[in-house]
Amino acid sequence: MKQIVINALFLALLSGSLVSCQRSAKPVAEETVTPETPVQVVSISNSTLSEDVVLNATSAYLEKSFVKANTNGYLQSSTIQAGTVVGSNQVLFKLITKEARAIGNSINQLDPGFKFSGISTIRAEKSGYVILVNHQKGDYVQDGEALATIINQSSLVFLLDLPYEMRGVILQNKILELTLPDGEKLKGEIISSLPAVDSLAQTQRMVIKVNATHPIPENLVARVKIIKSAVSNVQVLPKSAVLTNETEDEFWVMKMINDSTAVKTVVKKGMEDGKSIQIVSPVFSAKDRLITVGNYGLADTAKVKITR
């Protein structure tokens, strides 16, 4: 009987130790690690923004003069060809009448004091460069016939077909910047507009005067930048820092509240160009850090890690 009691006590002690071991053997709960998104940040800056529109303008010369024969005869000499730059009063052609060509020096031999040559000199009335030569040496021409065409360099303009709804804008931008295909920039001024509108395109032709330091070919297409509106000394952020919803009626930025947490901050945007956006409200301080890279898809309060 005594042995049975001892065995019972031993079993009770054994089962208690097993239960204790099972309780102490419970696994330790793993700590939850919140992932951090690598981001890059910028600070707000004050700058000037402008909304521009780029149109094309074509070069043209408004003044073209025709060099004409002043008598019937043969072209004895020609000093020009297409592309030649000529000055005012420069000799271009010499004509000899058919009578003088037929008689030759017979009259001068009879009377040396008469000094008859029958040669007529044709000069350029204005400076410019030759774009067309109609006759060459030896050709027979009649009085009033066109011998060459010269364009007046000082009459260079660019013709801009402006959408009529932008007429109010162009009146505030009479001084324009023109960019040629090779990258050269010219300053131009609107001097007049033609009193007609294209019936289909509803554009009005504007005449832009430029001061070029070298000859510019006709029909060259330049790009004209027209400023529609501009603001100065406003809050500006890179375009990548501003996020929006699918309907683009709400905009926000991700602002750092400490070194590892970013929160969603709703903003009101203003003007924008290709790279920057104006922030109308709220007003940020220079110390505020706003995410510009890695902000897409972040939750309202997100754990982030700032990288360079």
Give the pLDDT mean for 100-107.
Answer: 63
Please check whether residues 57 and 166 belong to one and the same domain: yes
In a domain, 21, yes or no: no
pLDDT for 224: 94
Tokens coding 60: 């043209």
pLDDT for 13: 53
In a domain, 31, yes or no: no
User: Looking at residue 255, which CATH number applies to its domain?
Assistant: 2.40.420.20
In a domain, 18, yes or no: no
User: pLDDT for 157-188, tens place per residue?
Assistant: 999 999 998 888 887 777 899 999 999 999 99
Local confidence band at 102 (pLDDT 50, 70, 90 cut-offs): low
Please check whether residues 239 and 258 belong to one and the same domain: yes
pLDDT for 43: 93
Give the pLDDT mean for 100-122.
Answer: 63
pLDDT for 113: 53
In a domain, 14, yes or no: no
Q: What is the pTM of this model?
A: 0.61
In a domain, 3, yes or no: no
Please check whether residues 95 and 235 belong to one and the same domain: no
Please check whether residues 81 and 103 belong to one and the same domain: yes
pLDDT for 256: 93
pLDDT for 8: 53
Please check whether residues 202 and 57 belong to one and the same domain: yes
20 burial class (0-12, 13-18, 19+ CB within 10 angstroms)? exposed
Please check whether residues 245 and 274 belong to one and the same domain: yes
- Coil, strand or helix: which one is 7? helix
Please check whether residues 220 and 236 belong to one and the same domain: no
User: Looking at residue 182, which CATH number applies to its domain?
Assistant: 2.40.30.170
What is the DSSP annotation of 218-282? TT-EEEEEEEEEEEEEEEEEEGGG-EE-TTS--EEEEEESSSSEEEEEEEEEEEE-SSEEEEEES
Our separate counts of H helices and E strands in the chain read: 4, 21
Residue 163's domain comprises 53-61+155-230
User: pLDDT for 220-247, tens place per residue?
Assistant: 999 998 888 888 889 999 999 999 998 8
Give the pLDDT mean for 77-105.
Answer: 82
State the chain's mean pLDDT as an integer: 83
- Higher-pLDDT residue of 7, 49: 49
In a domain, 19, yes or no: no
User: pLDDT for 253-283, tens place per residue?
Assistant: 999 999 899 999 999 998 888 789 999 999 9
From 199, 230, 261, the end of a domain falls on: 230
Please check whether residues 177 and 281 belong to one and the same domain: no
Local confidence band at 290 (pLDDT 50, 70, 90 cut-offs): very high
pLDDT for 104: 59
Provide the edge-to-edge strand list for the sheet that holds 85-86.
64-68, 146-152, 128-133, 85-86
Number of structural domains (the chain) is 3
- Residues 56, 220: Cα–Cα separation, whole Å: 10
Please check whether residues 57 and 191 belong to one and the same domain: yes
Please check whether residues 187 and 57 belong to one and the same domain: yes
In a domain, 191, yes or no: yes
- Higher-pLDDT residue of 292, 35: 292
From 123, 144, 165, the end of a domain falls on: 144
Measured from the Cβ of residue 279, the count of other Cβ atoms closer than 10 Å reads 22
In a domain, 123, yes or no: yes
From 144, 173, 188, the end of a domain falls on: 144
Please check whether residues 242 and 226 belong to one and the same domain: no
Please check whether residues 301 and 168 belong to one and the same domain: no
